[in-house]
């Protein structure tokens, strides 16, 4: 029996039949040392594939690769192979984001959050007492015109309640019809104070929206389908805190952006810790824009998105067309 076949047989006995290395040695007529070498060879040559299938498991190799590739302080990647559907994947990512937030040290004193279905799931996944005395502040408008009106407030209140702190809500729609109205609202003393508090947060937690018909902005009544089609025509890949960006993280419609209430994207780029929570195949493009343009220091996502980001080629302006192995925002300060 050659060494390759011995490696396979040793692996079968060790992993499938739970034999010890001493027992395998006795069966195959080998020393314990030789069995250990065969098992190591089997793993090195890819004869063994070990998969941790718990829903709260993580893909550590992908996390390290994302951090190195995009200059992230951290990344959290959850498996999708055994998930029943996209909803289960989204739930896993939300739970992973809640786990990450719970483990943050130092605990944030002021946490700035966006809103949407993803962050509401994160809020629901957080354990009671995940922190103490955290002040939660909404960083973009979320008062809606239809049935989704409670999402933004419910998210902030739930995160704060579970952390034994208070929630400060931004009492404004996400997008207004007129620039003058938006400027008037943001100049109001109360609203201005909330935005100042939001700008001073030490940690930011946000998700991203896709340019699809089921967008939260369409469901909430802020945009019509033809508005979304026009944004896509202009190059939009999704929205971050209500602001629509292209593949390079640039605003695609300055007029719409002028009517959007909340923190500017530059504040996220300047912050020491910003956590982006993104899942689903339809959000690959916006996830790539977020990490490539320095909008987050931490990415919480699924392995489908992670693999897509790592497989992406260098931007078209690279004459070599080689894979991008360095972050596109080298000046971004990262923290642990």
pLDDT at 333: 42
Query: Domain check: are 171 and 285 in the same one?
Result: yes
pLDDT at 171: 86
274 in any annotated domain: yes
Query: Domain check: are 215 and 246 in the same one?
Result: yes
pTM for this predicted structure: 0.79
Query: Domain check: are 72 and 27 in the same one?
Result: no
Q: What CATH code is carried by the domain that includes residue 26?
A: 1.10.10
Query: Domain check: are 96 and 11 in the same one?
Result: no
Q: What CATH code is carried by the domain that includes residue 282?
A: 3.40.50.1360
51 in any annotated domain: no
Query: Domain check: are 17 and 121 in the same one?
Result: no
pLDDT at 177: 85
Q: How far apart are CA 278 and CA 244, in angstroms?
A: 15
Q: How many domains does the chain have?
A: 2
Query: Domain check: are 193 and 97 in the same one?
Result: yes
Please give the full DSSP string across 173-235, using - where no structure is assigned: -SB-S-HHHHHHHHHSHHHHHHHHHHHT-SEEEEEEE-SSTT-HHHHTTSS-HHHHHHHHHTT
Q: Among residues 188, 222, 184, 200, which one has the least CA distance to residue 137?
A: 200
71 in any annotated domain: yes
Please give the full DSSP string across 236-295, using - where no structure is assigned: --EEETTEEE-TTS-BS-HHHHHTB-B--HHHHHHSS-EEEE--SGGGHHHHHHHHHTT-
Query: Which range of residues forms the domain containing residue 32?
Result: 3-44
Query: Domain check: are 143 and 242 in the same one?
Result: yes
Query: Domain check: are 21 and 161 in the same one?
Result: no
Query: Domain check: are 246 and 289 in the same one?
Result: yes
64 in any annotated domain: yes
Check: CB of residue 238 under 8 Å from CB of residue 245: yes
Task: Estimate to the nearest angstrom the gap between the alpha carbon of 170 and the chain centroid.
Answer: 23
Query: Domain check: are 303 and 224 in the same one?
Result: yes
Each residue's pLDDT expressed in tens, for the chain with a length of 336 residues: 678 888 988 998 998 888 999 999 999 999 999 999 999 998 888 888 776 666 666 788 899 999 999 999 999 999 887 777 888 899 999 999 999 999 999 999 999 999 888 999 999 999 999 999 999 999 998 866 654 446 788 899 999 999 999 999 988 888 888 999 989 988 889 999 999 999 999 999 999 999 988 888 888 778 889 999 999 999 999 999 989 999 999 999 999 999 999 999 999 999 999 999 999 999 999 999 999 999 999 999 999 999 999 997 544 444 333 344 444 454 444 443
pLDDT at 318: 44
First to last CA, the chain: 50
Query: Domain check: are 16 and 106 in the same one?
Result: no
321 in any annotated domain: no
């Amino acid at each position: 029996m050659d060494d390759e076949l011995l490696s396979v047989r040793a692996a079968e006995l060790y992993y499938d039949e739970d034999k010890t290395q001493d027992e395998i040695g006795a069966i195959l007529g080998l020393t314990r040392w030789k069995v250990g070498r065969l098992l190591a060879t089997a793993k090195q040559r890819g004869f063994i594939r070990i998969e941790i299938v718990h829903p709260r498991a993580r893909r550590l190799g992908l996390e390290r690769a994302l951090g190195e590739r995009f200059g992230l302080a951290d990344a959290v990647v959850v498996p999708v192979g055994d998930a029943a559907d996209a909803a289960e994947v989204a739930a896993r990512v939300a739970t992973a984001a809640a786990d990450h937030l719970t483990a943050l040290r130092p605990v944030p004193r002021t946490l700035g959050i966006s809103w949407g279905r993803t962050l509401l799931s994160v809020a629901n996944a957080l354990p009671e007492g995940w922190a103490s005395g955290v002040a939660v502040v909404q960083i973009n408008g979320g008062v809606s015109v239809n049935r989704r009106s409670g999402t933004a407030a419910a998210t902030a209140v739930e995160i704060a309640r579970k952390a034994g702190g208070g929630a400060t809500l931004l009492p404004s729609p996400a997008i207004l019809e007129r620039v003058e109205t938006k400027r008037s609202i943001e100049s109001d003393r109360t609203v201005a104070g909330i935005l100042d508090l939001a700008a001073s947060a030490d940690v930011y937690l946000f998700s991203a929206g896709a340019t699809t018909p089921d967008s939260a902005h369409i469901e909430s009544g802020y945009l019509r389908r033809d508005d979304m089609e026009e944004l896509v025509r202009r190059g939009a890949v999704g929205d971050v805190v209500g602001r629509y960006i292209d593949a390079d993280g640039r605003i695609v419609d300055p007029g719409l952006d002028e009517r959007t209430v909340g923190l500017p994207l530059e504040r996220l780029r300047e912050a020491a810790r910003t956590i982006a929570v993104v899942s689903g195949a339809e959000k690959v493009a916006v996830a790539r824009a977020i990490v490539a343009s320095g909008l987050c220091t931490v990415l919480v996502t699924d392995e489908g998105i992670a693999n897509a980001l790592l497989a992406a080629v260098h931007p078209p302006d690279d004459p070599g067309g080689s894979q991008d192995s360095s972050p596109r925002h080298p000046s971004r300060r990262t923290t642990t």
